[in-house]
Chain A
Amino acid sequence: MSATATNTHDEHHDHPEWLAHHFDTPEQQFEAGKFGIWLFLVTEVLFFSGLFCAYIYFRSHHPEMFKNASFLLDTNMGAINTAVLLLSSFTMATAVRMAQTENQKGLILNLWITLACAFGFLVIKFFEYSHKLHVGLKWGDAWSPTPQALSEFNEKLAAAGQPTVEVMPDLHNFFSVYYCMTGLHGIHVVLGIVAIGWVLARAYRGHFNRYYFTAVDATGLYWHLVDLIWIFLFPLMYLIR
């Protein structure tokens, strides 16, 4: 019995490079990877859930703040960003398909477009943030709206057919939640850029084939989640009044 059992180790060098030694079959490796990334996404959802709870809490305690603040957010920029992310989700999904079908050029092209969208999102977000900070629409005890913020607020109110106001209402709780949630989402976009960049580098080196595309798949799933969170944030922050 012991004589037959000894040569398993030599066979370790026979399997393809992308099959880790501790898996018996490519299917087992694929299934494990897929399960792992889904679990990771669950933890991400729970990570954000704390902030969504905070949102619900503050919205129910200070409904007027959330109503007023939605006038102050730039709905156009938010809508453009939503479109940008939706496009990037589409190209990411296409990239996974390209990896599966071993279309090297298509994979690289789609990853580049996804990457460009991610950067585009951040640029637009940067303009939004810098304008808010410029007119003093800040979080918590840093709240210090300038007269410009008040006049912009009144313009938006007038456009929506609402009565204008003399004094800027105190909205600092809203902006605390706003910066926390969109900020954390922004960090996830940055992490997504890192992940997509890593996959892109591997794609150039031809690491993916029809048997092994787990890294593309996993990055794709992560990226869809990042988009999905924005799909929730956009109406919750910008649209619901």
Chain B
Amino acid sequence: METTIDHTADNAQSDGKNYLNQTSGILSWIFTLDHKRIGVMYLVGVTLSLLLGGLFALLVRLQLWSPDGLLVDNSTYNQFFTLHGAVMVFLFVIPGIPGALGNFVLPLMLGAKDVAFPKINLFSFWLWSFGAIFFIVTLATGGLDTGWTFYTPYSVQSSTAVLSATMGAFILGFSSIFTGLNFIVTTHRMRPKGMGWFQMPLFIWGIYATAIIQVLATPVLGITLLMLFVEKQTGLGIFDAAQGGDPVLFQHFFWFYSHPAVYIMILPAMAVISELMATFSRKIIFGYTLVAYSSIAIALFGFLVWGHHMFTSGQSAWAGLVFSTLTFSISIPSAIKVFNWLSTMYKGSVRLDTPMWYALAFLFMFTIGGLTGMFLGSMGADVHLHDTYFVVSHFHYVMVGSIMFAFFGGVHYWWPKMFGVMYNKFSAKLACALIFIGFNTTFFPQFMLGSRGMPRRYASYLPEFTELHQVSTVGAFILGLGVAVAVIGLIWSLFAGKKAPQNPWGGSTMEWETATPPITFNFNETPVTKPIYDHSGLVYNEATGNWDRVEAPSEA
């Protein structure tokens, strides 16, 4: 006989309060210590940043409609692409999934009441907001035209707002460090009874690996930006060849952070995909242990490959050889993940809900992004492709094609838990399709442009590149439309969405065992740890749309 356990009754407060309506007023949000509210505030912040960065992307693409530029003069164009890159990287891609989804989901998955240091968590969000404002200030004070990499010597000479931008990035870096520190300690110390390392959901493994990089790499960016700041202010000369310094030293420092930062970006995305694959295939992730270890392997390997950004910067051929080899070796753990996700779907009962659409698109585009990375990791090919649109397209396949898709997949997955409403599935899938088509239309032609020699960042180009550039621009607008549909659909659901059940997708991890939306303290009673990704106790209830947990496994 099956006994249905109604967890909603356990974990809902009798007065109908949840974390959203427990207290009200703007101050109750600004000063909240609740990880869920902080997650929601991050979600709002990173989404606004995504839209702002996207706006600049559209302006860049519009400018490139014609070989001599359609809209503005060249220096304005320089500012457009710099702001696009800086806003997207520092304000959306890096904080996006850990800040919004990690904050919301991590403690819930651990059955914990909060992260280890709630005050530091809030402080980290404030720092993030403050740093973000510095970036907005660069808009008002005359742009920024160095690219997001701030390479010396140009960044030292540029008269644009390099100082406020580096200061902003410095503050954002500290925000990232504190978030990472919090997540590491939370993962180590807040696990519930019975949850060993290998009973943790893979989302936590991914966020944990990310946090390791955040804590170990970001301080190096911090000191680099600080040195750049001081150099610009006082003529320190550390990065200035004319004074016996070395501009390439800046590149080493910068990439020592910024290559691992690529994994700060992609590991959380992989973490989300693991959850989606498990839930929507109704199976444990194939090779769970390997996938868990591969996150840590990526985090550690990531520190040893920064030199592949500098094959053409005058580093020795031997250094290049070593960096190239190490770069190839890092594709092994990434491939392990992809193959294991594919194997998870094999003989699973795959359901194609919206989050799974995003997850499948992720697989497709991460594969392209990853494989084209191999071209760039081999020195001979890179000398030809370096600083061309091929590179631009490669990292957009990773940063947008993979990370933004995982972000949207995760947001659509946890949205019902966050806000207690279901979104319109048709518009959500339409948005996913538009983004997918738009994205590939934008960036596939850029591979062709790059391999034919179109350099990145240039404001003008040869007339024979016009057609491909125009295709790319059309794609960008389809992509923009898709993002708009997705965001509007989600916001619309807040007002008109159906009430969400406790577990609409049949997720097996602990966040689905609390009320929807969760109460302020998450759980009245810490849930019992069950075997990881065991879906056998979950049975779909046609009437409520909920996956009820039954006491005895149904196959018995």
Contact = CB atoms under 8 A, between A and B. Distances in A.
Given A54-B227, A61-B244, A40 B181 contact: yes
Given A9-B524, A57-B249, A141 B243 contact: yes
A191 B429 CA distance: 51
B189 A140 contact: no
Contacts of B379: none
Nearest to A49: B220
Interface string A54-75: 1001100110000000000000
A48 B223 contact: yes
A13 interface: no
Nearest to B8: A2
Given A47-B222, A48-B223, A54 B238 contact: yes
B285 interface: no
Nearest to B242: A141
Interface in A158-213: 172-173, 176-177, 179-180, 184
B10 A1 contact: yes
A234 interface: no
Interface residues of A, number: 43
Interface stretch (B38-46, B229-237, B540-548): B229-237
Contacts of B217: 46
Interface string B494-508: 000000000000000
Interface stretch (B55-63, B109-117, B133-141, B405-413): B109-117
A165 to B, nearest CB: 19
A44 interface: yes
B218 interface: yes
B128 to A, nearest CB: 17
A32 B185 contact: yes
A180 B118 CA distance: 34
A36 interface: yes
B246 interface: yes
Nearest to B113: A22
B219 A180 contact: no
Interface in A10-55: 12, 20-22, 28, 31-32, 35-36, 39-40, 42-44, 46-51, 53-54
Given A32-B185, A35-B185, A2 B235 contact: no
A35 B189 contact: yes
A130 B434 CA distance: 64
B9 A2 contact: yes
A50 B181 contact: no
Nearest to B230: A180
Given A54-B249, A57-B249, A172-B237, A1 B5 contact: yes
Interface of B: 5-6, 9-11, 14, 112-118, 120, 177, 181-182, 184-185, 188-190, 215-220, 222-224, 226-227, 230-231, 234-238, 240, 243-246, 249, 253, 521, 524-525
Interface of A: 1-2, 5-6, 8-9, 12, 20-22, 28, 31-32, 35-36, 39-40, 42-44, 46-51, 53-54, 57-58, 61-62, 139-142, 172-173, 176-177, 179-180, 184
B253 A50 contact: yes
Given A36-B185, A141-B243, A46 B220 contact: yes
Contact of A50 (B118, B188, B224, B235): B224
Chain B CB within 10 A, most for which of A8, A43, A58: A43
A184 B227 CA distance: 10
A51 B188 CA distance: 31
Contact of B237 (A20, A39, A176): A176
A140 B181 contact: no
A135 B219 CA distance: 34
Contacts of A44: 219
B191 to A, nearest CB: 10
B524 A6 contact: yes
A50 B218 contact: no
B521 A9 contact: yes
A3 to B, nearest CB: 10
Given A6-B14, A61-B244, A173-B244, A28 B113 contact: no
Nearest to A27: B189
